[in-house]
Amino acid sequence: MARDTIVDEVRQVCEQYAARFGFDLDAIYRDLKKREQRGEFTVVYRRPRRPGAGTRTRPKRRRAATSN
């Protein structure tokens, strides 16, 4: 499988960011909340989708019954 350089770069940045906080999830959360409050980025909240809504464009085909 070919490596995706963009995915590799994103993973590297995430690893470096987590390492700054000693991989402590609470510390990472606090940092992200501070940055959000300072306006560095905006978190977008959306309503959850209904299960299965918009996942298929065509109705399922039924399988023919087989007899043994």
Q: What is the pLDDT of residues 3-53, one digit of tens each?
A: 999 999 999 999 999 999 999 999 999 999 999 999 998 888 888 888 876
The answer to whether 21 and 31 have CB atoms below 8 angstroms apart is yes
Within-domain flag for 32: yes
Note the pLDDT of residue 50.
83
Within-domain flag for 24: yes
Within-domain flag for 54: no
Within-domain flag for 17: yes
Q: What is each CA distance from 27 to 13, 18, 34, 38, 44, in whole angstroms?
A: 17, 9, 11, 17, 22
Within-domain flag for 58: no
Within-domain flag for 60: no
Query: Total structural domains in the chain?
Result: 1
Within-domain flag for 47: no
Task: Quote the domain boundaries for residue 11.
Answer: 5-37
